[in-house]
């Protein structure tokens, strides 16, 4: 394999060997970091590499080492601003450590996700970081097990996969948010979010239920819509809740898409948040602070999630066992959770 | 090179040859799409591939074909919601055509961008799609020329690079937006955006100036802040404009980051858009429609930009000459451009 220098000329490992006055195999051993290379040999080869502007070829290196230094990153949708922040931080951290990120969107489809995983296997990525669409798909489990490469899950709880995970402590933030609404006197608190087949929803629901229990109130299933993280699902189900009599006095929207859909429904019906109804968003996004009125939220640090995911993967690549890293959440009451009563 | 079947066993090209009862070289020729393969041979090999669950190995294919089917995608910041939409659409389109996307953020730095380009060259990507930080860096130009792979630029005008480009017609949208404000009687229309060393700003500025000229009014440089697309720059310069006496009666913010920064400054000073001051944003983002008040904007289709970028690259990979694709813009007046006078 050859690489090109900045003037477009072909500089190969043969040129390096000729310039250094050593055997081709010596250059190869030196470049692959073989321990059996004398300091004098290393110096000669490095001088020639520098003088000729030789760039070690990734493809050739991959064949020698069996690694590609590529990491697969699978998410539902990079256009979700939370995932975009995770991806940015993760890419930067991987790059700093000599790895590149292959990005794949699963478009919320288990089938696409599975195809992506198989493609990453064929591409011989060194590891995978994934926010899976669902935890209960046996097909995905089988595909993942066949990957046999280090895997870091984002906010998923699948103990039998031998994977590391960046897990969010949703419980704490959602408990506080629900308690805040209950303390104000709300009882009909609608909860619109994705399905319980992911840890994210289950842990949020645990916080929601616990706050009701702590307040000595009963949770009613009729105010829960747990079917999808997409804006369309939240739009339809928020509309539906608002058409009921009595309607909810407060809404908790779980996730960026759910928040968008719920707010669309409220706009459409000209119901003002922070006045006609109390509203809490779970997760913030980059332009969150310029919204009016100010939206009460449960925040988690997406940047930290991305950096942690990269670290956990790098640890596994260095032979460590899978482990878990927990990201905290924090509820902040702002204008949008006023009113409604 | 070997690949793994779903049960984790090693299935190599040798197993395929044995099962098909043909020579190793025949399997290799068949899998690489060599024209000199009989239909009978092809059928035998394909049967064996299917029966054994053999997956052609990308690394081995890359060595045979000299291509990696990887495309580099370099942007300032994937957390910019406009770029995230472009990246999503582009990734989907590339994937549909058998290519994967290696994502790299340049963090707004020419140095990082240049390093990323060199890294992509070493990784032997088949092509690059890039939104460059600046058009006037001779260093970047040199790096790009040494890439010697098909290149598609996003909204950059660099004719001497032999690159394709997805270009936005900013002129039309910004002309209409500025005309709208001038028609209402605004004269002190501040323009806050990135530097003129990218086409994006130059074309927007052309529309802004042309509207003043068409209205028989003079443009004043003192209401232009053309130094950065980041929120911090817009925050500082919007603050500065608002401290002047008289202050601007309208603000045009060019880009997602500029809009965020300008709106932050206005929030901070409790100046209400659509009432105390007129405001127009250039570019929309996914959650744009749920803002209150509704923000007047110049819209461009980020999804179309991503798909077009993929198409232009695929055309070049198929041997076509570089070409340009133009994305339209459209101004829509909403509540935020009311008031201010």
The tens digit of pLDDT for each residue in A256-282 reads 999 999 999 999 999 999 999 999 999
Residue A10 structure tokens: 């072909």
Q: How many domains does chain B have?
A: 3
The alpha-carbon gap from A261 to the nearest alpha carbon of chain B, in Å, equals 9
The tens digit of pLDDT for each residue in B186-212 reads 999 999 999 999 999 999 999 999 999
Domain identity same for A222 and A257: yes
Interfacial B residues in 122-161 facing A (CB < 8 Å): 122-124, 142-143, 145-146, 148
CATH classification of the domain holding B197: 3.40.50.2300
Query: Scanning the structure block, which residue is given the tokens 């068409």?
Result: B214
DSSP string for residues in B1-28: -EEE-TTS-EEEHHHHHHHHTS-HHHHH
Query: Positive or negative CA dihedral for A135, A137, A140, A146?
Result: positive
The tens digit of pLDDT for each residue in B153-196 reads 999 988 888 899 999 999 999 999 999 999 999 999 999 999 99
Q: Could you tell me which residue, A150 or A46, shows the higher pLDDT?
A: A150
* Residue A2 included in any domain: no
The alpha-carbon gap from B184 to the nearest alpha carbon of chain A, in Å, equals 25
Domain identity same for B233 and B251: yes
Cβ contact (<8 Å) for B84 and A85? no
* Residue A8 included in any domain: no
Alpha helices, H only, A163-287: 170-183, 199-214, 231-242, 256-268
Domain ends where: A64, A85, A107? A64
CATH classification of the domain holding A33: 1.10.260.40
Q: Which residues of B touch A88 (CB under 8 A)?
A: 77-79, 105
* Residue B203 included in any domain: yes
In chain A, % of residues over pLDDT 90: 68
Domain identity same for B292 and B194: yes
Q: Which residues of A touch B91 (CB under 8 A)?
A: 78, 103-105
The tens digit of pLDDT for each residue in A80-102 reads 999 999 999 999 999 999 999 99
Alpha helices, H only, chain A: 13-20, 24-31, 39-52, 58-65, 81-96, 110-122, 138-147, 170-183, 199-214, 231-242, 256-268, 302-317
The tens digit of pLDDT for each residue in A99-129 reads 999 999 998 889 999 989 988 988 889 999 9
Find the domain containing B288 and state its range: 170-300+330-337
- Residue A6 pLDDT grade (very low, low, confident, very high; cuts 50, 70, 90): very low
* Residue B2 included in any domain: no
Taking the CB of residue B69, how many other CB atoms lie within 10 A of it?
18
- Cα torsion at B50, B51, B52, B56 (round to 10°)? -10
- Residue A25 pLDDT grade (very low, low, confident, very high; cuts 50, 70, 90): confident
Domain identity same for A77 and A142: yes
* Residue B316 included in any domain: yes
Query: Is A63 within 8 Å of chain B by CB?
Result: yes
Interface test with A, best of B93, B290, B335 (most A CBs within 10 A): B290
Mean pLDDT, chain A, whole residue set: 91
Domain identity same for A117 and A188: no
pLDDT of residue A53: 79
Query: Is A320 within 8 Å of chain B by CB?
Result: no
Alpha helices, H only, B184-292: 199-214, 231-242, 256-268
Cβ contact (<8 Å) for A102 and B101? yes
pLDDT of residue A10: 67
pLDDT of residue A222: 95
| B85, B116, B290: residue with CB nearest A260 | B290
* Residue A1 included in any domain: no
**C-alpha A277, offset from chain centre:** 31
Residue A147 structure tokens: 């990957």
Distance CA A314, CA A93 (A): 10
Q: Which residues of A touch B56 (CB under 8 A)?
A: 122
Distance CA B239, CA A83 (A): 31
Distance CA A245, CA A227 (A): 22
* Residue B7 included in any domain: no
Overall residue count recorded for chain A in this entry:
341
3-class SS of residue A210: helix
Interface test with B, best of A267, A286, A295, A306 (most B CBs within 10 A): A286
pLDDT higher than 60, residue B5:
no
């Amino acid at each position: 394999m050859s690489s090109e220098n900045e003037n477009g000329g072909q500089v190969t490992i043969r040129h390096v060997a000729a310039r250094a006055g050593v055997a081709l195999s010596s250059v190869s051993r030196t470049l692959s970091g073989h321990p059996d290379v004398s300091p004098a040999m290393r110096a000669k080869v490095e001088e020639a590499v520098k003088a000729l502007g030789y760039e070690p070829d990734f493809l050739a290196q991959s064949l020698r080492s069996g690694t590609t230094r590529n990491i697969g990153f699978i998410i539902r949708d990079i256009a979700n601003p939370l995932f975009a922040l995770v991806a940015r931080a993760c890419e930067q951290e991987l790059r700093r450590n000599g790895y590149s990120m292959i990005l794949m969107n699963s478009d919320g489809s288990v089938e696409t996700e599975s195809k992506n995983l198989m493609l990453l296997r064929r591409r011989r990525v060194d590891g995978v970081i994934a926010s899976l669409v669902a935890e209960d798909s046996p097909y995905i489990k089988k595909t993942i097990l066949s990957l046999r490469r280090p895997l870091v899950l984002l906010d998923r709880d699948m103990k039998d996969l031998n994977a590391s995970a960046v897990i969010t402590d949703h419980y704490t933030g959602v408990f506080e948010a629900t308690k805040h609404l209950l303390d104000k006197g709300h009882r009909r608190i609608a909860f619109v979010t994705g399905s319980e087949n992911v840890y994210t929803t289950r842990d949020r629901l645990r916080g929601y239920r616990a706050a009701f229990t702590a307040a000595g109130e009963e949770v009613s299933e009729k105010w829960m819509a747990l079917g999808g993280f997409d804006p369309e699902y939240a739009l339809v189900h928020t509309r539906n809740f608002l058409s009921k009599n009595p309607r909810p006095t407060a809404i908790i929207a779980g996730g960026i898409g759910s928040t968008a859909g719920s707010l669309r429904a409220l706009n459409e019906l000209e119901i003002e948040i922070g006045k006609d109804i109390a509203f809490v968003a779970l997760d913030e996004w980059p332009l969150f602070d310029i919204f009016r009125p100010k939206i009460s939220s449960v925040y988690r640090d997406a940047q930290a999630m991305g950096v942690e995911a990269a670290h956990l993967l790098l640890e596994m690549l260095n032979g460590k066992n899978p482990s878990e890293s927990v990201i905290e959440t924090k509820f902040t009451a702002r204008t949008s959770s006023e009113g409604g009563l």
